[in-house]
Structure 1
Amino acid sequence: MEIKITELDENYARIKIRGEDHTFLNLLQHFLLEVDGVLLAKYDVPHPLIDEAELIVRTDGLNPMDAIKRANEFIIRECDEILDILG
């Protein structure tokens, strides 16, 4: 995965992501929307043959990069729970 931050301010981030498809991006979007302070989380894959997506996060008083970190922590916890259940 390659990440390039194309826009960043205190309430907004626009990030290009290479090497990931809808599988991870949809999961990340879902968990971003669970983070308190996230107003908008969306991604776009402009063309299925181009290995690049764009993630947009808008927040209300929360650093958008912190929101992305929290969402990834939620994903890790969910995966750990599944692994525990499976033994």
Structure 2
Amino acid sequence: MKVKILEYNEDKEITLELLGEGHTFANIIREFLCDARDVDSAGYYKEHPFVDKAKLVIKAAPKRKIDKAVRTACRDLAKSVDDFYKLLEKTK
């Protein structure tokens, strides 16, 4: 996956293009972003169903920084995946 910054508005809003990704990753990262207290809103869209790229739009909560919000959401997602992997390892 490659990530391209399309718009960056003074730490309040960012639009990212997720190249090589579809609904699966875009939806899960959107979910974690929406759960982050630094995020006011997050959403994604695909311009065409056959093209493997999604655009992710994230707006920071008042008095919050967007870069911190994205880092926190990514860290939380990575921890959840790691916890799930450890749970699966226990079932062997």
* Same fold at TM > 0.5: yes
Question: For the residues of structure 2 that align with 1:23 and 1:57, how far apart are their CA atoms?
Answer: 17
After superposition, the C-alpha distances for 1:3-62 in whole angstroms (9 at most, x for unaligned) are 111111211001111111111110000000111121110000111112221110001222
TM-score, normalised to structure 1, is: 0.90
**TM-score if structure 2 supplies the norm length?**
0.86
Runs of 4+ aligned residues of structure 1 deviating over 6 Å after TM superposition are none
Aligned residues: 87
Give the percent of matched residue pairs that are identical in Structure 1 and Structure 2: 28
Q: Which has the larger radius of gyration?
A: 2
Segments of structure 2 that go 5 or more residues without pairing to the other structure are none
- Alignment partner of 1:62 is 2:64: yes
1:5 aligned residue: 5
Give the alignment partner of residue 79 of structure 2, picking from 74, 77, 80. 77
